[in-house]
Amino acid sequence: MYAQALDQKDKAPSVVEDPEHLARFEARCAAEEKIEPKDWMPEGYRRTLIRQISQHAHSEIIGMQPEGNWVTRAPSLRRKAVLLAKIQDEGGHGLYLYSAAETLGISREELYEQLLSGRAKYSSIFNYPTLTWADMGAVGWLVDGAAIMNQIALCRCSYGPYARAMIRICKEESFHQRQGYEIMLTLAKGTPAQKEMAQDALNRWWWPCLMMFGPPDAVSEHSQESMRWKIKRFSNDALRQKFIDATVPQGHYLGLTFPDPDLKFNEATGHWEIGAIDWSEFKRVLSGDGPCNRQRMRHRRQVEADGAWVRDAARAHAEKRAAREAAAKIAAE
């Protein structure tokens, strides 16, 4: 099960690196050079990237589910077409990211196996349910908004294939964020019932979105190393604050209230300050006990099983074609 599997995280033995290679590598990172797949890199850098890129890919793939829930119930043909396009984009992002992870020497099959067995994480946010149409607005506005805040920085990541994948992904995420905000705007300016639906969505998504940025800096186990290697450019707390500062005025423009009685603007610092985040909820979701963890994994495994015949057929076709080509080659000799 997901919860148990997380406890069995790969504890690969640490590798003793050649100090000269390591010094040259660290100097390249410090000089803002891009690291490419065939370049020498420390094992820890490779592992961190495989972990982060694959978790990111899994998030995009699992992230299709909460929105897929509304495709057949979108309120108009236009909304349905937009939602379908967005979900397809998320699938595409997952595939680019799996390809970027593969450049680090791990196979697609292994990456899938890590997700399906529960050894790999995906973003906590996709374990929450999408209960009303307003959730499609809130997911676009807040979840994609948080994703962009994190991913703009990743466009400057030291690992070339990841950085380049992020440039296109960010362009698409930007469209996603705007379409979500437009849904929220329509609902917020609609009937009292529609405005209430928008407010309810904000109430449910605000805190989980703040958790998307990861644990506080003081307990973020990977941040220090990832920042030295220029994988991460900003700390979890710094990005969370940027998101809060950008998003609170947008929510006020909608005429909505944030579900945080302690939210206040600090004139001296120029930042919005929030109340305490409930990190016990974050831990619970990460340990597999969020509202939808089981449902998300069950669905992903079912889809994998349902698609087995397609993979088998493609493999059989490739084998037949290879055999035909080999026979034709022999006949021509």
DSSP state of 142: I
Q: CB of 89 within 8 A of CB of 172?
A: yes
Q: Which is nearer to ligand FAQ, 102 or 318 (CB)?
A: 102
Give whole-number Cα distances, 228 to 26, 32, 111, 225, 232, in Å.
8, 11, 26, 5, 8
Give whichever of 222 and 299 is closer to ligand FAQ, judged by the CB atom. Answer: 222
Long-range contacts of 117-120 (CB under 8 A, 24+ apart): 117/5, 118/1, 118/2, 118/3, 118/4, 118/5, 118/6, 118/288, 118/297, 119/5, 119/6, 119/8, 119/9, 119/10, 120/54, 120/55, 120/58
Find the part of the chain contacting ligand FAQ (CB under 6 A) among 120-128, 188-196, 197-205, 252-260: 120-128
Other CB atoms closer than 10 Å to residue 303's CB: what's the count?
A: 12
The answer to the question of residue 144 lying near ligand FAQ (CB under 6 A) is yes
Nearer to ligand FAQ, 73 or 321 (CB): 73
161 near ligand FAQ, rule: CB under 6 A: no
Among 114, 130, 158, 226, binds ligand FAQ (CB under 6 A): 226
Residue 17 Cβ vs ligand FAQ, minimum distance, rounded to whole Å: 20
For 9, 47, 98, 311, the CA distances from 106, given in Å and listed in that order, are: 17, 10, 9, 20
Distances (CA, A) of 229 to 28, 100, 121, 167, 218: 9, 17, 22, 19, 19
Using CB under 6 A, which of 7, 109, 221, 306 touches ligand FAQ? Answer: 221
In the complex with ligand FAQ, the residue whose CB is nearer, 53 or 254, is 53
Tokens of 125: 């946010």
Place of tokens 């997700």: 115
Is 143 an interacting residue with respect to ligand FAQ (CB under 6 A)?
yes
For ligand FAQ, how many residues bind (rule: CB under 6 A)? 30
Write the binding mask 176 to 215 for ligand FAQ: x where contact by CB under 6 A, - elsewhere. -----------------------------------xxxxx
Site string for ligand FAQ, 4-33 (x = CB under 6 A): -----x------------------------
Q: Check residue 220 for interaction with ligand FAQ (CB under 6 A).
A: yes
Q: Using the rule CB under 6 A, give the single segment among 118-126, 190-198, 258-266, 306-314 that binds ligand FAQ.
A: 118-126
Candidate list 37, 55, 178, 277; residue touching ligand FAQ; CB under 6 A = 55
Only one of the segments 12-20, 50-58, 69-77, 292-300 lies at the binding site for ligand FAQ (rule: CB under 6 A); that segment is 50-58
Beta bridge mates, 266: 271
